[in-house]
Chains A and B, each alone.
Chain A
Amino acid sequence: MIVEIGHYALALALGVSVIQVLVPFWGVVRQDRALASVGSSAALISFALVALSFAALVASYVRSDFSVSNVVANSHSAQPLIYKFTSVWGNHEGSMLLWVLILTLFGALVALSRNTLPPRLRAGALSAQGLVAVAFLAFTLFTSNPFQRLSPAPAEGQDLNPILQDLGLAIHPPLLYVGYVGFSITYAFAVAALIDGRIDAMWARAVRPWTLLAWTFLTLGIAMGSYWAYYELGWGGWWFWDPVENASFMPWIAGTALIHSTVVMEKRDALKVWTILLAILTFSLSLLGTFIVRSGVLTSVHSFASDPARGVFILLILVFFVGGSLALFAWRAPLLRQGGLFAPVSREGALVVNNIFLATACATVFVGTLYPLVLEMVTGDKISVGAPFYNATFVPVMVPLLLILPIGQSLAWKRGDLLGAAQRNAAAFGVSVLVALALIAFTHGGPVLAPLGIGLGVFLVLGAAVDLGERIVARASGWRAMLSRAKGLPRSAWGTALAHAGVGISIIGIAAAAWSSEAIAVLKPGERLTSGRYTVVLEGVSPRTGPNFRAEVARFQLFSGEKELAPLEASKRIYTARSMPTTEAGIRTDWLSQAYVSLGEAQDGGVAVRLYDKPLILLIWIGSIVMALGGGLSLTDRRFRLAAPKRATPAAAAPQPAE
């Protein structure tokens, strides 16, 4: 019964979303406020229905209801409760439902948000967002229905894919989807503004929090996925330039560009056309990611045809939303007036440069991801585009951008002083060069690019500090004045500095990876293996039984030099239901570095062991978290929060029709 309620609620949500598209749109066309305000109610109802539907699926999973074919295929009664729960989105159908849940959640948030949105813009945005919801609800219902019953019901499920039986599955997809789907709001606002034909700084201010929110979550989602891959895969790789990763990275880069271009628009009423285009492209890249991953086009062009219903449906969604919005853009964008002026050397100018580079970086990943597909379709020839390609193209595009970042950041708005900005950052630059030179001398004969990368990272962190320092220290006398200046500094300034410092921190971690070392050997109990600064001694191997797996657990003692650090366990598991093996690496965090042990096959009376020394590896993810903190901090900036009371005042003075 619960399953049917869920199914029914999902179908009803589709109907309500159709209302959410049509009625507010009609209201905007007819200038009818009452009709326009229907969008808000529809968005809230639609979210409530999808939430009910999602809850029904969760209930089926938690109760191991094996009459639902989706539960059978992805769950097992012996799974721990947390994995029963996360299995809900550990598969195609369930993750589509999660996607739709988050999509309608964002619609509901727009409906509830009490900021100074012009009613027409809100109605238009809800209508556009409703259209996205209609498309994905229809896709879920007609091609990926998680509520399909199975008769007769089997006694046991087939278990969740063992690599997904990890806490990572509880955290990573929800974060990632909030990021992906959050950009649908900026997209909807862009479409609404195009239909309306008017766009100004107010639009930028309305859109910016949503962009920041989506970006912050996408940052965390990508970082979390990367860390998950790092500890789960057994050899410490954390980024593979895999098309699936690129699919999430492209919206992230475009979203980063969008955050920066909306700043210019809010401040100077400029870059409007470009910002609108970016808002459209960012979500289009999210949709492209959905298509790439969902259609199976990746594995090969041919497997795309193996499940044509889903692939073609998503392709149609992609073509409709990307093509439709770009056509609308081509038609309406010329109506948008350019706003304020600024000199080429100014903060705005620097942000334009930022956008050129980020757009190029994004396009590089785009071309690299899709080129093999297109080439195979056109000529039938297969090529691979892997990490070496991106190292040779993406990195050279990003490095100059990051090098000029601190200088651009300390340029004044409207008209800047390049020499002054360079002078303000001279000390930071000098220190960074010294750090790089010292590292080169110290690690003589090692990789040369790594010290340079670390120098760049240090420059970014110091540059962010210089920027804050200038604002707090330079024009204040005495501690008290500084403190009050620090307090008075807008949160978004702190957020910017944090986010930029986070980029620097991540770069230090990435660069330091060049010094990681690896050792492989067959160990018998009592034998030792050394890699870099770490040594492990194998103490013994013993079997162990988990709830739904059997494991061979190897126990080690970890040494740093001759100093005993900690006992460490690494294991190989066989999940009984699918008889699929996984490795569980033993990881010991040592300050910012990690010792990483993983097991290979048992052979010659011993077991194959590999030990990695991963210096400063944690900085990669710490940097990402710092970036996200910066995003979150900007989100709490006064100018996004202050909007509420402004709106309440006139409403109190004269009652207005409900919205």
Chain B
Amino acid sequence: MRRIALAIGFLLLTAVAAPAVQPDEILPDPVLEQRARALSGGLRCLVCQNQSIDDSDAPLARDLRILVRERLVAGDSDKAVVDFVVARYGDFVLLRPPFNAQTLLLWAAPFLILAAGAIFVWRRGRRSPAADAGAVSPLTEDERSRVEKLLRDEQG
């Protein structure tokens, strides 16, 4: 549903109201329900922008929530449920992207950048900038004339 808000622009408010999980979906077994909630929080509502099926009111999200609960009731492990959903909808459904060749750069990027920054600063720190330390940038023509003028005014 966030598509609607996208039309509006920079606004951060990007989802349409209406809560997701309906009372009739809730499993009687609180442990299973807890697992269902945790799983749904990591599965993407396919027709929404970055919303999990746990948060989305889209009919498709509801179908997926019910599907997750059916698999859990049938005795699937958490991993089996996720695998089942991924087999149907692809990696797109995972809000936490899987770690594989395609996403290697995505997952590694933050740590590579941090390391690169640290190494860069460390190397620069070792290469002492003392050579530049005493250097004062010379005055421009404009500034020189202003200084002279100020000095003149002072005397006069």
Q: Which residues of A are at the interface with B, using a C-beta cutoff of 8 A?
A: 31, 90-92, 95, 120, 161, 163-164, 168-169, 172-173, 176-177, 180, 198, 200, 222, 225-226, 228-229, 232-235, 237, 240-245, 247-248, 289-290, 293-294, 296, 298-299, 337-341, 344, 352, 356-357, 359-361, 363-364, 367-368, 371, 375, 379, 381-389, 392-394, 396-397, 520-522, 581-583, 598, 600-601, 603, 608, 610, 650, 653-654
Least CB separation from B141: chain A residue: A31
A383–B92 touching, CB < 8 Å: yes
Measured between beta carbons, the chain A residues less than 8 angstroms from B3 are 299
B117–A95 touching, CB < 8 Å: no
Question: B80-121 toward A: CB 8 Å interface, digit per residue (1/0)?
Answer: 000000000011111111100011011101100110011001
A200–B129 touching, CB < 8 Å: no
Contact of B132 among A240, A242, A337, A522 (CB under 8 A): A337
Measured between beta carbons, the chain B residues less than 8 angstroms from A225 are 11-13
Which residues 115-148 in B have Cβ within 8 Å of A in the complex?
A: 117-118, 121, 125, 129-130, 132-133, 135, 137, 140-142
A654 to B95, CA, bound (A): 67
Question: B43-75 toward A: CB 8 Å interface, digit per residue (1/0)?
Answer: 010000111100100000000000000000000
Q: How large is the interface on B (under 10, 10 to 19, 20 to 34, 35 or more residues)?
A: 35 or more
Nearest chain A CB to B3's CB is how many angstroms away?
6
B90–A386 touching, CB < 8 Å: no
A229–B15 touching, CB < 8 Å: yes
A601–B52 touching, CB < 8 Å: no
Measured between beta carbons, the chain A residues less than 8 angstroms from B32 are none
Q: Does B35 contact A (CB under 8 A)?
A: no
Nearest chain A CB to B127's CB is how many angstroms away?
11
A177–B10 touching, CB < 8 Å: yes
- 6 A-B pairs with CB atoms under 8 Å apart are A31-B141, A161-B4, A173-B10, A237-B55, A352-B121, A384-B92
A200–B113 touching, CB < 8 Å: no
B6–A298 touching, CB < 8 Å: yes
A520 to B125, CA, bound (A): 58
Q: Does B18 contact A (CB under 8 A)?
A: yes
Task: Decide: A172 near B133, CB < 8 A? Known: A241-B50, A388-B42.
Answer: no
A458 to B91, CA, bound (A): 39
B18–A384 touching, CB < 8 Å: no
B96–A389 touching, CB < 8 Å: yes
Nearest chain B CB to A356's CB is how many angstroms away?
4
Measured between beta carbons, the chain B residues less than 8 angstroms from A344 are 125
A386–B12 touching, CB < 8 Å: no
Q: Which residues of B are at the interface with A, using a C-beta cutoff of 8 A?
A: 2-24, 26, 42, 44, 49-52, 55, 90-98, 102-103, 105-107, 109-110, 113-114, 117-118, 121, 125, 129-130, 132-133, 135, 137, 140-142, 149-150, 153
Contact residues of A: prevailing secondary structure? helix
A653–B15 touching, CB < 8 Å: no
A357–B97 touching, CB < 8 Å: no
A389 to B91, CA, bound (A): 14
Measured between beta carbons, the chain A residues less than 8 angstroms from B8 are 90-92, 95, 161, 164
Number of A-B contacts (CB under 8 A): 225
Contact of A163 among B17, B95, B96, B129 (CB under 8 A): B17
Nearest chain B CB to A250's CB is how many angstroms away?
12
Nearest chain B CB to A272's CB is how many angstroms away?
11
Measured between beta carbons, the chain A residues less than 8 angstroms from B92 are 382-384
Least CB separation from A120: chain B residue: B142
Measured between beta carbons, the chain B residues less than 8 angstroms from A363 are 109-110, 113
B135–A389 touching, CB < 8 Å: no
A92–B7 touching, CB < 8 Å: yes
B106–A385 touching, CB < 8 Å: yes
B9–A296 touching, CB < 8 Å: no
A356–B14 touching, CB < 8 Å: no
A233–B15 touching, CB < 8 Å: yes
B16–A163 touching, CB < 8 Å: yes
A243–B50 touching, CB < 8 Å: yes
Measured between beta carbons, the chain A residues less than 8 angstroms from B94 are 383-384
A240–B113 touching, CB < 8 Å: no
B6–A368 touching, CB < 8 Å: no
B22–A601 touching, CB < 8 Å: yes
A371 to B8, CA, bound (A): 24
Task: Decide: A357 near B114, CB < 8 A? Known: A244-B14, A387-B95.
Answer: yes
A178 to B36, CA, bound (A): 42
A581–B19 touching, CB < 8 Å: no
Contacts beyond the supplied A240-B55, A582-B18, A650-B150: 12 A-B pairs with Cβ under 8 Å: A92-B8, A161-B4, A172-B12, A222-B12, A234-B17, A237-B55, A290-B10, A339-B132, A383-B91, A386-B95, A388-B42, A388-B96
B23–A600 touching, CB < 8 Å: yes
Nearest chain A CB to B126's CB is how many angstroms away?
10
Least CB separation from A370: chain B residue: B106
Contact of B55 among A235, A244, A394 (CB under 8 A): A235
A338–B14 touching, CB < 8 Å: no
A367–B114 touching, CB < 8 Å: no
A598–B135 touching, CB < 8 Å: no
Least CB separation from A396: chain B residue: B110
